[in-house]
Structure formats: structure tokens, C-alpha cells
Amino acid sequence: MLTRILLVVIVVPVAVILIALAVANRAAVPFTLDPFNPGNPALTIQMPFFIYLFLALILGVLIGGFAAWLRQASYRRLARQRGQEVETLRTSEARQSEAVVPPQPAAEGTALIRPAP
């Protein structure tokens, strides 16, 4: 249910805005990598302007995701260390439980006497 609300409230309006942006910016715009000779055809690309906008949006999302991933590295490292500590405790506990000698069964003919209540 939450996914459907999220889809309707956020994704649909963003999609409508992006479609309107793409329709409004269909004109071909040159993008040149040579600032000293902008007319150089080897280093100039002509594409519709909305493609540049979408590429900038995608690049921004990727850079933001990478930055968030880098900032969370300390939390991931801490979680890994705690996971290793828990695993170490579990293995030492298992070894200790194996080392405990089980009680010896009573010999034949010997009855366990219960105290009277």
C-alpha cells in the first residue's frame, strides 16, 4: 500500500514534469569540448537539450549515491566488526557447551531417592 502511495505522490508528478521538459526542449543544441575553438566538429556533439538535462540528472543521482555510500562506510565497517564479534561469541559458546561433561546415568539397580514433600 505504501509503495502505491509513493508511486502516485512522487513518481507520477516527476514523470509528468520530465515529459513536459523533454517536449519543451527538443531543439538540437551543440555541446563542445573545445572552449578555444567551439566550431571544431570533432569535439562537438549536437543533441536535443532534454538529453543533456536527463544526463545531468542521472549523473547527479549517481554522484549522490556514491557520496552516500562513502559516508556510510564507517557504519558498514562497524556492522561487520560486530557481526564478527557475534560469530566469535557463538563459536566459543558452542565449544564450551561441547566441553561440558554430561551427567553420568545412575548405575543399574540404583534408584534415585526423592525427598518427601
Written as tens digits, the pLDDT of the chain (117 aa) is: 888 888 888 888 988 998 898 888 889 998 888 888 888 888 888 999 989 989 999 999 999 999 999 999 999 999 999 999 888 888 888 888 776 656 666 666 555 566 566
Record the pTM.
0.59
Return phi, psi of residue 9, to 5°.
Answer: -80, -35
Q: What angle do the packed helices 49-71 and 73-99 form, to 10 degrees?
A: 40
- Maximum Cα–Cα distance for the chain, whole Å? 108
Q: Under a CB-based contact definition with an 8 Å cutoff, are residues 55 and 31 in contact?
A: no
Q: What are the tens digits of pLDDT across the range 23-50?
A: 888 899 988 888 888 888 888 889 999 8
Structural domain boundaries in the chain: 11-95
What is the C-alpha to C-alpha distance for residues 53 and 51, in angstroms, rounded to an integer? 5
